[in-house]
Chains A and B, each alone.
Chain A
């Protein structure tokens, strides 16, 4: 593998409509090192990954690999992207997955070449080479993807959030693999939200903000807390009013769980409360169980234990007062309906007449009210929903949930992919809502969001609550980020890889079946 010079990215630009995803990204990765790439959502990480994977092409800028200009169309196989969910053929065996697309032209079924067998032995997957991939754990999928890439002479490996669904042991093994790939002279790039691991395994970490590299950390400065701090620097902050934040704590709890345990094993024995007037953020990396926890509070994931909402106990009765808005707008909006219809789609009593008639005037009235109250910028509420900008679509999704006045509203990453102006407006809406004796529960992956809108942050790690912090005690988002990251890292150090937190693959797939 001749790879002198490694990967050099120069002035990479990409825009989607009005959104600038990459704004002249410059990045270098040398063979033998593991380069970490971190950044808040929307900073351009995933666009960079997609360009290197050949799923997007850049508007301008160039990429060099091993000293010569590279494009995916010419030399795509040199770059291997290992995703969180590998993109393989689940119906084929491990060996077939490695061969597919380049089977030898001899008649009959393709047979693994000696080299391929050797690769599988190296990666410790030779024993299952004849087993269908879908029957095997995720870690094997990722190894298969690595073997597939190696057999194609790839020398640049891009790991995109590779271990969010792996157990601790499997993660450790994966990291060992990254190191040995690097030792063998490949370029290894790790894109991740898990800052502790990044600090531990990468030689250098680039923090992306607004489509370019904002900071580069190495040596002594390369600590998880420092990365966390860099992630939130320069993000406009709209911190709320601290007196209210204190007051909220003294209110009675609207929502409380006791020994709340996920049926798929993603979290266990959670005692969670949210008081009237409070905005609580559940913070945790992907795979820590936070997402499943907030979904279970809305009755969308199965969990055992007790839950009570405004004094009502037991599953369905409790969660019927909880509305949920997912992170992905594709899962919260109805593209075949107009803006008006999207705004009132969760209503029942407000727009239903006697005998199940649709009271169209009432629906229009409610939609107009919601449009004004939730500052949805549209020319006309009869427009198709897709005519709105991303920020306004998100406001419609949130407005539809808030408009039916639930006791509690649960939102996942409410401002993901939303412009700064809409962000502040959405935070304002959530605060106004919580003030009316309601509670808001958020699932956040960004510290700047937690600092901007939450009163209290519940930190989730490996399926249990690590700690709860009052956001108002922190002077700025940087110190909050640093504190939480330090907590998480310390926790991981205290209980090293052996902890079995039950995240094996079969359970992960169970969870997916329910969502």
Chain B
């Protein structure tokens, strides 16, 4: 999982090549680090398998029906897209509680500008992403410039965003198929929009899974293969050192908050395209599962750690749990309790694995 310890293996050391420290191929520390990473990811996937087996047994096999698994994958895609954005924020050492309400704001802005104001769809998209970027900048400004803790800054902006969403959407639902009275949406635009998440794919694979894979590749490049990802890891790992080394700390925090905002907006648009209707509070139930997924996936609340593969696995586990519980008709209340427990459990797990790393 550690991005650096793989791939490029060039043992030819320039300079005095005969240094005894370098020729010692076996390195306990490094091996341990790799093993810990592998154990975490392996353990996570094993947990997924166990939970799936339990649900399969408890539901009398219904859990394993193809339709059910595909629906689960669709939910996982939403969690993963938002979660990958959140991963970047956690790596840089901050937290974002506003992405769930931003999801609702983004789709409301899209719906209102497209269906009520009669804007062309492409312009509505531009506005939606511009709003997302603005919210990201807002969060980053109060966190990195005004320097209030991101927990408070984004808790506040979350409420602010939700109020604003209700205000501009008048707390209404919108649907492209049934636009408000007196508006006519061009048929081409409507079919393009619903086509974003509803293309017929081989094996009935949900279109959103493809989006997730695309987004995951982009995030993998950002986190593991770009200067930005490398330096963001450094900033999150030790902010004081990053400042003394003159890394652009403030700029990277802006970037991280903008990235999570864009990810949340994208996830919202795809969900609306699939479901066919917009609700102002539709993102709110994503907040805890997304956090749980990202933390379980190995991103640290202390900053400096987080991987694409980890977050994807965490999203898979959370999707399995949510879907399984729904299938067993456990009811919304039990599901809430479960998600709460998993979130706390994930943070406890984070704490203990960090302790373990330090002590061993």
Q: Footprint of B on A, CB under 8 Å? A: 299-300, 320, 323-326, 330-338, 340-341, 345-346, 348, 351-352, 356-358, 360-361, 364-365, 368-369, 371-373, 377-380, 382-384, 387, 400-401
**Are A337's CB and B233's CB within 8 A?**
yes
**Are B227's CB and A378's CB within 8 A?**
no
**Are B305's CB and A332's CB within 8 A?**
no
A331 to B241, CA, bound (A): 4
Give the chain B neighbours of A299 by CB distance below 8 A: 246
A338 to B241, CA, bound (A): 15
Q: Pick the contact of A400 from B227, B237, B245 — CB < 8 Å?
A: B245
Closest A residue to B23 using CB positions? A379
11 more contacts with CB within 8 A, not counting A341-B230, A380-B21, are: A299-B246, A320-B246, A324-B246, A330-B240, A331-B240, A338-B5, A356-B227, A368-B15, A371-B13, A377-B21, A384-B29
Q: Pick the contact of A383 from B15, B30, B230, B242 — CB < 8 Å?
A: B30
Give the chain B neighbours of A333 by CB distance below 8 A: 238, 241
**Are B14's CB and A361's CB within 8 A?**
no
Give the chain A neighbours of B14 by CB distance below 8 A: 365, 368-369, 372
In the assembled complex, 28 residue pairs joining A and B whose CB atoms fall closer than 8 Å, in A order, are A323-B246, A324-B245, A331-B241, A332-B241, A332-B244, A333-B238, A333-B241, A334-B233, A335-B237, A335-B238, A336-B305, A337-B237, A341-B233, A341-B234, A345-B231, A345-B234, A352-B227, A357-B227, A372-B14, A372-B15, A372-B19, A378-B21, A379-B21, A380-B27, A380-B30, A382-B30, A383-B27, A400-B245
B228 to chain A, nearest CB (A): 6
Is B289 close to A, CB under 8 A? no
Is B33 close to A, CB under 8 A? yes
Query: Which B residues between 1 and 46 are near A, CB-CB below 8 angstroms?
Result: 2, 4-5, 7-8, 10, 13-16, 19, 21-22, 24, 27, 29-30, 33
Beyond A336-B237, A380-B27, is A358–B230 a contact (Cβ under 8 Å)? Answer: yes
Beyond A336-B233, A384-B33, is A364–B27 a contact (Cβ under 8 Å)? Answer: no
A324 to B16, CA, bound (A): 28
A324 to chain B, nearest CB (A): 5
Give the chain A neighbours of B305 by CB distance below 8 A: 336
Give the chain B neighbours of A360 by CB distance below 8 A: 7-8, 225
Give the chain B neighbours of A348 by CB distance below 8 A: 227
**Are A334's CB and B13's CB within 8 A?**
no
Is B199 close to A, CB under 8 A? no
Beyond A336-B304, A352-B227, is A379–B238 a contact (Cβ under 8 Å)? Answer: no
Q: Pick the contact of A324 from B10, B242, B244, B247 — CB < 8 Å?
A: B244
Is B336 close to A, CB under 8 A? no
A37 to chain B, nearest CB (A): 30
A330 to B14, CA, bound (A): 29
A3 to B250, CA, bound (A): 57
Give the chain B neighbours of A379 by CB distance below 8 A: 21-22, 24, 27, 29-30
Give the chain B neighbours of A340 by CB distance below 8 A: 4
> Shortest 6 CB-CB distances between A and B: which pairs?
A372-B15, A336-B237, A336-B304, A387-B29, A334-B237, A380-B27
A326 to B240, CA, bound (A): 10
A514 to chain B, nearest CB (A): 10
Size category of the B interface is 35 or more
Give the chain A neighbours of B241 by CB distance below 8 A: 330-334
**Are B29's CB and A331's CB within 8 A?**
no
B357 to chain A, nearest CB (A): 9
Closest B residue to A513 using CB positions? B147
Is B283 close to A, CB under 8 A? no
Give the chain B neighbours of A364 by CB distance below 8 A: 8, 10
Is B229 close to A, CB under 8 A? yes
Beyond A333-B238, A364-B10, is A338–B4 a contact (Cβ under 8 Å)? Answer: yes
A332 to B241, CA, bound (A): 5
A478 to B341, CA, bound (A): 66
**Are B244's CB and A357's CB within 8 A?**
no
Closest B residue to A324 using CB positions? B244
Is B226 close to A, CB under 8 A? yes
Closest A residue to B13 using CB positions? A368
A384 to B27, CA, bound (A): 11
**Are A334's CB and B304's CB within 8 A?**
yes
**Are B19's CB and A331's CB within 8 A?**
no
A377 to B27, CA, bound (A): 13
Give the chain A neighbours of B27 by CB distance below 8 A: 379-380, 382-383
**Are A358's CB and B227's CB within 8 A?**
yes
B120 to chain A, nearest CB (A): 31
Give the chain A neighbours of B231 by CB distance below 8 A: 345
**Are A358's CB and B225's CB within 8 A?**
yes
A304 to chain B, nearest CB (A): 21
Q: Pick the contact of A326 from B13, B225, B237, B244 — CB < 8 Å?
A: B244
Give the chain B neighbours of A335 by CB distance below 8 A: 237-238
Give the chain A neighbours of B244 by CB distance below 8 A: 300, 324-326, 331-332
A276 to chain B, nearest CB (A): 22
**Are A361's CB and B238's CB within 8 A?**
no
B164 to chain A, nearest CB (A): 33
Give the chain A neighbours of B242 by CB distance below 8 A: 334
Beyond A334-B304, A345-B231, is A358–B8 a contact (Cβ under 8 Å)? Answer: no
B209 to chain A, nearest CB (A): 27
Beyond A345-B245, A378-B21, A400-B245, is A358–B304 a contact (Cβ under 8 Å)? Answer: no
Give the chain A neighbours of B13 by CB distance below 8 A: 368, 371-372
**Are A361's CB and B8's CB within 8 A?**
yes
Closest A residue to B2 using CB positions? A338
Over the window 218-229 of chain B, the binary record of Cβ atoms lying under 8 Å from chain A Cβ atoms (1 yes, 0 no) is 000000011111
Q: Which of B13, B29, B244 is most buried by chain A, counting CB atoms within 10 A of its CB? A: B244
